[in-house]
Chain A
Amino acid sequence: MTFFALLTKELRLSLRRERTVWLIVAYILLLSFLGGLVVVESDVSSTNVGTISWSSTGIILYTVLLLVQLFLILFITPAFTSTAINGEKERQTFDLLLCSHLSPSTLIIGKLIAGLLNTLLLIAASIPLFSLVFFFGGVSPVETLEAFTIYFFTAITISMVGLFFSIIITRPAISTAITYMSVLLWLVLPLIITILVTVIGPHNGISTVGTTTGTPNTPPPPQWYLSGSPITGLLSTYSNSLWNPENYTLGAMSFAPWEFYLGLCIIVTGLLFLSSLILLQPATMYRSTRKSFTTMKKAETGATLLT
C-alpha cells in the first residue's frame, strides 16, 4: 500500500512536469532523424527489393538505433534517480517520509521503479521505430527482445547507481555529476581493460621478455571483461553485429556475452540495493551515532561516561 502511494506520488510529480513530454518528443525525433538518415543514405532502391542490400540496410538501421538508444538511456536515466533521496532532503520532505510506515526497502524500490518507468516510457515510445527494422529484415524478433532486455537491465542498474549516490551524497548536483561519471566509467572501463590486456597480456608476444608465450595457433581466451560494457553487451545480442565473441564457459554452463552482462547488472544492482538499504535503516543511524560518541568521549576525557 505504501509502495503504491509513493509510486503514484512520484509519477504525478514527474508526469506533470512539461519537461517529461518534451523529453519524449525530442527523444523520438532524434531517433527518427538518425534512422531516417540511415535509410536515405543506404543503397536501397526499388531494383534491390528482397536482396542482401535490404537486409544489410536493416542491420545498419538496427545497429544505429540500438546504439543511439543505448546512449540516450545511459545519459537520460541518471537524471531520474540521482536526486531521488537527496532531492527529498533538499525539499525537506525526507524526515516526513521517515515518520511514516514507509520502510527503507519500499522507499528505495518505489523511487527506483518511478525513475525506471520514465526510462521505460522512452523505450516503449521507440518500439514503433524499431519495428521498421523488420520491414527491411536482417534481425529477428528474438534478437530485438534480447536487446530490449539489455536496455531494461541497463536502465535498472543506472537507476540504482543514481539512487545510491543520492543517498550517500547530500547535494543533488554533486550526486548527479558523480552518477554520470560512473556511467561514463562503466562505458569505457571494459574497453580500457581490454586495450591494456591486449597490450601487456600473455597473448601479444611482448609481455614476456625474450620469448613469446602465446602460440600463433592458440586462440586467445574469451575477453569476458569486455562484456561488462553495455555497448558490447548489446552488440552481442544479434548475429550480424560488429562484435560476436564466443560464449563463455563456467564449468558445465555456457553463457552468451549478453547473458554475462545481464548477470553483472544484476549483481551490481543487488549490491547497491543492499548498501542503500543499510544506509537508510534508522537502526544504523542510531548505532553509528552512539558508537561515535563513545569513541569521542573516551578520546577526549578518558572518562567512562557510558560504561
Chain B
Amino acid sequence: MQLERKNRKKIDLKPPSSWPIQRDFIHLKRNKGALHMAQATSTIQTEAPPRPLIRIQHIYKRYQQVNALQDLNLAIPRGTIFGLIGPNGAGKTTLLRILAALLPPTLGEVWFEDQEVSHAPTRIQQKVGYMPDFFGVYPDLTAAEYLEFYAGIHRIPRKQRDTIVTDLLELVDLSSKRDALVETLSRGMKQRLCLARALVHDPEILLLDEPASGLDPRSRVELRELVRTLQTIGKTIIISSHILLELAEMCTDIAILQNGQLIIAGNVDSVTHQLGGGQQLEIRLLDTTLLPEALDLLQAQPEIQNVTHTTEANIQADFLGDNQALHNILSTLIKRNIPIISFAPRTGGGRLEKVFMHITEGNSES
C-alpha cells in the first residue's frame, strides 16, 4: 500500500480544461459496482514537484470570542486527496468554508495558485465544488431537475445540460432515480446526488465536508471508490471527516487540526511516522516451528516494537523505521531461511487513529 501511494504521487494526470471536453476525455463506466475509467491519458511526471495548488497563510478566524482558526499554514498539492482530521470544533468546516470563499478569514490569506481568495472570491468559487456536511436539497425537485438547476446557474449551455446530468447521475449510480423527487431518496442517495451537484461545473477542487457521515458501509465504500476515481481524473479533493479509518485508506495527505491550530500535515505515512505511530508489520510464516526464531530476530531489531503473534504463524509488530530498515528486516529473515508467506507493512487507519487519539487526548470537546 505504501508503495502504491508513492507511485500514485508520481503520476500527474492531465486535468480537464472544461466539462464538455472532459466528457470526451474520460468516459466513466460502471461495471458491476466498480467504476472504471475507459479513457484517461496520463503522463509520468519527471520534473520537480509543482507548486502547491492551495496555499493557506497565517489564517485566523474568529467568531465573537471564539477562535475557530489560529495562525493556520497549509500547502495542498495538486491532484491529492487531502484529509482534514480533527475533533469537533477543531475548525475543519470553517477552513473548508474559507477555501470555498464562502467565509472570509478574519486575518490571513488563501492562495489558489496566483489568486488570493479575498481579491476574487467569485472567481475562486468557479474552481471549487463544495459539498457541505448537510444535504442542501430542494425536496420538490427531481434528481435530474436538481442537477439541471445547478448546471444552469453554472452557465452550462442548455444543449449540454441533459448530457451532463445523465453522465453525472450515471457516475453516482442514480440513473434509475432520475425522475424521483429528491425527498424520496435515501440518505446515501442524497449524499451521492450532492456529490454530483458539486461536480456539475467540473471544478478543479472538490471540498467535501464529512461526506460519509450517516452513510451505511456499502454507501461508504461506493463513495470512497467515487472519490478515488475523481482523483484519478485530476481533481484535487479535500475531505474532512471524523472517520479516520476511511481517511487513512482514501487520502494521500492529511492535516490534523485541534482547537483551530494545525498539529501536523503531510503525506499519510510521514505524518504517522512523525507522530510516532509508525506502521504495523504483519508477517505470516509458512513453517510455524520457526516462530520463536522469527520472534527473537524481530525483537532484536531497533525499529521493531511490541512483537506479538496472533496465531502460530502470524506475527504482528509496530515498525518505526523507514523503507530501508524494512528492507533490511526482510533480508535478514530470508537469510535466516525463515519461510515467509507474506510480509506486509501497513500504515492503516488503526495506526492513524492511535496517533490521533493520543494527540487529541482530553481535548475532544474543545
Contacts and interface: CB of A to CB of B under 8 A. Distances in A.
Interface stretch (B144-152, B239-247, B331-339): B144-152
B100 interface: yes
B150 A13 contact: no
Contacts of B104: 285-286, 289-290
Contact of B121 (A9, A16, A286): A286
B149 A92 contact: no
Given A6-B153, A293-B107, A95 B62 contact: no
A13 B121 contact: no
Given A5-B153, A293-B106, A306-B107, A101 B126 contact: yes
B112 to A, nearest CB: 14
Interface class of chain A by DSSP: helix
A98 B153 CA distance: 10
Contact of B153 (A92, A100, A285): A100
Interface string B149-160: 111111101100
Interface in A61-101: 91-93, 95-101
Contacts of B122: 282
A97 B137 CA distance: 11
Contact of B136 (A6, A8, A92, A293): A92
Contact of A8 (B62, B106, B149, B197): B149
Contacts of A101: 126, 153-155
B125 A305 contact: no
Given A282-B122, A305-B107, A5 B128 contact: no
Contacts of B130: 95-96, 99
A2 interface: yes
A301 B197 CA distance: 45
Contact of B102 (A6, A12, A98, A283): A98
B293 interface: no
A9 B136 contact: no
Interface residues of A, number: 32
B361 to A, nearest CB: 31
B87 to A, nearest CB: 23
Given A12-B140, A96-B197, A289-B104, A102 B153 contact: yes
B40 interface: no
Interface in A225-271: none
A4 B138 CA distance: 17
B102 A1 contact: no
Interface in B187-225: 197, 201
Nearest to B102: A95
Interface string B46-73: 0000000000000010100000000000
A184 interface: no
A132 interface: no
B135 A17 contact: no
Nearest to A305: B107
A21 interface: no
A252 to B, nearest CB: 46
Contacts of A5: 148-149, 151-153
Contacts of B197: 96
A119 B46 CA distance: 64
B116 to A, nearest CB: 11
Contacts of A49: none
Nearest to A306: B107
Given A95-B102, A101-B126, A306-B107, A1 B155 contact: yes
A291 to B, nearest CB: 11
B141 A13 contact: yes
Interface in B59-106: 60, 62, 97, 100-102, 104-106
Interface of B: 60, 62, 97, 100-102, 104-107, 118, 121-122, 125-126, 128-130, 132, 134-138, 140-141, 145, 148-155, 157-158, 197, 201
Given A4-B152, A99-B129, 8 more contacts: A1-B157, A6-B152, A8-B152, A9-B145, A91-B138, A93-B136, A289-B104, A293-B107
Q: Which 10 A-B pairs have the closest CB atoms?
A: A5-B152, A100-B153, A293-B106, A286-B104, A9-B149, A92-B136, A289-B104, A93-B136, A102-B153, A282-B121
